[in-house]
Structure 1
Amino acid sequence: MSLRKRLSASSTSSRSESPLVFAAAPNSDSDHWVGAWQQVLARDLIDSPVVAVDADTTVEDACDLLLSKDLACVAVNSSSGTSPSAGPYQGLFDFSDVNAFLTFAATRHKLASDELREKPRIQEILAAAKEGKVPVHLVSNLSEKNPLETLPYDATLLSVMGVVARGAHRVLIQAESPSSEYLGMVSDNRLLAWFTSYAQQNAAFLRYLTNPLSSLALPSMYLYMSVVAARSADTVLDAMQLMSEQGVSTIAVIEEETGNLLSAVSVSDIGKIVVPAQSNQILSTPLHQFVARIKEPDGATDGVDKFPVYSVSPTTTLHYTMQKLLATDSHRLFVTDDPALASPVFPPTSTGSLTGIVSTVDVLSLFARIAQLPDIDPTRMQRHRRASSASGSSSSRSSDAGSFGGPRSRSSSRTSLGRLSVSGEGKPLRSSVSSLDSFQWAERAPGERR
């Protein structure tokens, strides 16, 4: 049973989306808002350039680029011989894909042969690894949460919102015709930041944002089963596999003893800490130690921990929630019970204070419904990813405890995908994503000898 299923099964209460009457935006005000939103051009919201890599670039080199340039995502050029009408890019590659690839590398020996045969793309990855390198085009959107979405030059903010409110994290904006180039990307965080800024210019919209989360139609606000969480004693590999299976970029880490929220772990943490690690020992590190490692760069000032808190309560306003999503650079926050609310609307859970989640996509989908955009379903993409994972997953997690295999290197951005130890003899894994060694190192428990 997966970690998420184990946690959910322990809950004695089933949460609905909310029995409260939802706060609605005044029609006259919302018409004015939507009219203003319609005037904003998507190209004016671009927050990052399109950085591209060739289709045959190794996954290791593509990951190095993400780390060395501090990029959230790179585009993958179309393969040679592809029809020009298909566009210059065939997909995207980000840390979710890195996490999905490393999870597969670490667990593929547990998959039944018939499962592997049912997945042609996985077979291609294995074949490429045997040949000596895995090209990035095979791993592009391996996570199934990083689709290539594009919009034309004259697209508006509403067009972007219609895409991201269905689960995509970013949209590429085309240059003016007849150019086939792209001007850049608009991220969901950029869109959220725009709405936060717009509230400072429109008093009626700001008043709407002061509604508490408990009064808004947020899909997972009261749905405890939507909380994807691991225990603090579980391992980094457990967390990686959980994110991959459940199609999320962030999971909660709960205290083993109290069941309360300890922190959160994201695919970016995996990319920035696990990938540059010197040893595969890191995969068996307990999450409470890994969280401490994540907090390390933030440090503390005057004894006050500066690491961001990834939780809100049902009484938190939507405006503050948006600000916290932006400040923590997170795609989701975890909703915890508010002790001041003694109503049966908020029954306690046997796993602690977690009650639900609120994500960037949830918030943007709320605005998309105000704009009456069609086909808005913020959970659809995640449901597809989970169904895809469930249909082909019969693997079990390793729960061996371990420790870091040495200090993280700060002298080079070269990834551990090229340095992880294959065996106790210290043989370096030159390219954990470019050769079959990337799978061999993960097939043994850390410290195991042949």
Structure 2
Amino acid sequence: MRLGHQTNPSHSHRPSFTEQLRGMPTSPRGPRQLSMSEAQILDLMNNPPTAGSADPKFAGRDWQHIAVGELVHPEDLRWVEVDTGVEDATNLLLESDAPVLLVRASKNEHSAIATFDYRDLTQYLLFATGQLQPDDEHLVVFEKLAKKAQQGHKIPLRDAKSLGTKEPFITLPHTADLTAAVETFGGGVHRIVILKEGTNHAIGILSQLRLIKFLWENGRAFPIIDQLYPQEVKELSIGSQGLISVKYVAPSDAPGTAADVMILSGDKPLKEALILMNNEGVTSLAVVDNNFNVVGNISNVDVKLLTKSSSAPLLENTCIHFISVILSTRGMIDGKDSYPVFYIHPESTLAHTVAKLVATTAHRMWVVEDPTPSSTPSSSAPPTPSAAPISIAHPPVSYPAHLSTSFPQANPPFQPLSATPSVSASAMPGQHMSGRLSGVVSLTDILNLFARASGLHPTDPEEARRARRGSSSSSKSGVRGSLDSARSSVVDLREKR
């Protein structure tokens, strides 16, 4: 059953982002998108929403007394059973375009016991390609799964979830107020399953992004939060300097000011970026050039481009090559060339930052200083945005026979795959549109700020980040020969249809 192609009547009656803004003055908020045109970037306004753009049903209400159940919709839930195979779960995750699936014991259940998301998919992909190395405690489990995969047996989610500990499974009753959610999210939790009060019946999922979007759209109704929007990021002292990035040149060339940055050379395989994200418990990495100018962003969601065996060579190719594939894919889907806009400046206001997060549905914005001119001879573009359109060469694409119109979300494999990057760092448009990487601001940082401004006491998000890094200790990534034999039977997550 392909839930991604069913239209729920309730969806058609809820106004879209665009409909909500129809007739309103120009706003940095726009429809859900993964990339934006240059004109849209230049049109992003450094202002909070205009008065009157809030949902009328929340007018005059204190946001701290709004129930979490008012922000979720049961029809948005996508379910799989604990015995569902990873391949089938992956198909549903991609087809439904849902950020997460709820896992239940059986089809008759309405209580969730776990989740399956792109972080799980990334970890399973690393297992499937022999990149996960278990500790002694989990060695037997890994060898059992490898043997099952080698024999061509289905790997159920109950087994796949044993590959590593994930983010805590947090629930709240639907009557809980938003202060509980803000305080929880401000401590580093990424999503909360909402239950019908007094039961284990799941009725929705509240994510950090959904809450940020709600508070942004209704900001004028919430003065405590609204007064923060005009302030600059550097004045609010939010964000982190402890960066994790993918560097295009050797680590020895890194500037001394970035000594605290964890670096992976961009000329190394993409699989090492996935390994780094898995081991560090992060969902995305910045890709920078030899002068630390941001040229791209790789996230767990991008792993959807790797779920076919024909895309396996991408794992061995460079990170910068994968960035070109991501941009080319977005260009074909959007019908135009595109480039990443996952960055802000220290002088950017919180309003500008939140506007970009909502518009791009990103989980973090990279903080950049003025661009440093590249030392490569081929780079001559100005460090600031220009009005000229940017064009990116698209790699040749072939569509396999089984890729029908009934699966529009499928991403075609790219071939042939060159052994060298198809787009160099100096040619990446992001280099000339962004700047020198200096920090990062995440949804967690912003919700932590909102919580503290409201007199709440959220957990230090750094503790949550350390916990996520520690949660991968049971399956640290590395090349393990005993798992190599499982590759051919489990790497192709979408061909069992």
Out of 141, 165, 172, the position equivalent to 1:151 is 172
Partner residue in 1 for 2:270:
236
Distance 2:296 2:218 in 1: 30
Which residue number in structure 2 is paired with residue 171 of structure 1? 192
Q: Which moved more, 1:310-319 or 1:146-155?
A: 146-155
Measure how far apart 1:44 and its partner are: 1.0
Match of 1:386 among 469, 472, 484: 469
Cα distance in 1 between the residues matched to 2:213 and 2:477 = 40
TM-score of the aligned structures, taking structure 2 as reference length = 0.63
Alpha-carbon distance change, 308 to 217 in structure 1, aligned in 2, over 3 angstroms: same
- Secondary structure of the 2:351 match is helix
Question: Is the contact made by 1:150 and 1:174 (CA closer than 8 Å) also made in structure 2?
Answer: yes
Q: 2:286 aligns with which of 221, 239, 252?
A: 252
1:154 counterpart letter in structure 2? T
Quick one: structure 1 residues 371 and 183, their matched pair in 2 at CA, closer, same or farther if it must change by over 3 Å?
Answer: same
Deviates more, 1:53-62 or 1:206-215: 206-215
Alignment of 1:59-74 (within 5 A): 59-74=86-101
Show the 5 A alignment for 1:276-315.
Answer: 276=308, 278-299=310-331, 305-315=337-347
Q: 1:333-372, aligned counterparts within 5 Å?
A: 333-338=365-370, 353-372=436-455
CA distance in 2, matches of 1:422, 1:140: 17
> Out of 198, 215, 235, which is 1:215 matched to?
235
User: Structure 1 length as normaliser, TM-score?
Assistant: 0.69
Rounded to whole Å, the distance in 2 between the matches of 1:176 and 1:393 is 38
Cα pair 2:225 2:453 within 8 Å, conserved: no
Aligned to 2:306: 274
Per-residue deviation, residues 214-256 of structure 1 (Å, max 9, x unmatched): 111325157667755544323221111111011110001112x
Q: More deviation in 36-45 or 135-144?
A: 135-144
Map Cα deviations across residues 341-394 of structure 1 (whole Å, 9 max, x no partner).
Answer: xxxxxxxxxxx8211111011100111112333342212232123234457647
* Aligned counterpart, 2:212: 192
1:91 equivalent in structure 2: 114
One-letter amino acid matched to 2:201:
E
**Secondary structure in 1 matching 2:97:** coil
Match of 1:332 among 358, 364, 367: 364
Deviation at 1:153, TM superposition (A): 2.2
Cα deviation code 1:48-82 (max 9, x no counterpart): 722211111011110110011111111111379xx
The unaligned stretches of length 5 or more in structure 1 are 1-32, 341-351, 398-420, 424-428, 439-450
1:377 counterpart = 2:409: no
Q: Would the alpha carbon gap of residues 37 and 353 (structure 1) be closer, same or farther in structure 2, given more than 3 Å must change?
A: same
Aligned twin of 1:265: 298
Partner of 1:239: helix, strand, or coil? helix
2:84/2:156 contact within 8 Å kept:
yes
- After superposing on structure 2, the runs of 4+ consecutive aligned residues of structure 1 that deviate more than 6 Å are none
The separation in 1 between residues aligned to 2:180 and 2:60, in whole angstroms, is 12
- Using a 3 Å threshold, how does the CA distance of structure 1 residues 277 and 323 change in structure 2: closer, same or farther? farther
Is 1:76 the counterpart of 2:103? The answer is yes
| Equivalent residue, structure 1, for 2:25 | none
Contact 1:72 1:94 in 2 (8 A): yes
Gaps of 5+ in 2: 1-58, 244-257, 373-434
Query: What letter matches 2:219 in structure 1?
Result: A
- Offset at residue 203 of structure 1 (A): 5.9
Which residue number in structure 2 is paired with residue 44 of structure 1? 70
Please say if residues 38 and 156 of structure 1, whose CA atoms lie closer than 8 Å, have aligned partners that are also in contact.
yes
Q: Does the C-alpha gap of structure 1 residues 378 and 93 become closer, same or farther in structure 2, counting only changes over 3 Å?
A: same
CA distance in structure 2 between the partners assigned to 1:116 and 1:321 by the alignment: 44
Structure 2 CA distance for aligned equivalents of residues 150 and 211 of structure 1:
33
Letter in 2 for 1:323: A
Give the aligned partner of residue 49 of structure 2: none
Q: Is the 8 A contact 1:151 1:174 kept in 2?
A: yes
Aligned partner of 2:230: which letter? Answer: T
Matched residue type, 1:150: T
Aligned-pair distance for 1:323? 1.0
* Contact 1:57-1:136 at 8 Å conserved across structures: yes
How do 1:7-46 and structure 2 match up within 5 A?
36-46=62-72
- What do residues 167-218 of structure 1 show as CA deviations (whole Å, max 9, x unaligned)? 22211111244x5422111111011011212323356643321111111132
Matches within 5 A, 1:117-132: 117-118=137-138, 121-123=141-143, 125-126=145-146, 128-129=148-149, 132=153
Q: In the aligned structure 1, how far is the partner of 2:361 from the partner of 2:436? A: 23
Do the aligned partners of residues 229 and 334 (structure 1) sit closer, same or farther apart at CA in structure 2, a change above 3 Å counting? farther
Task: Report how many residues are paired.
Answer: 352
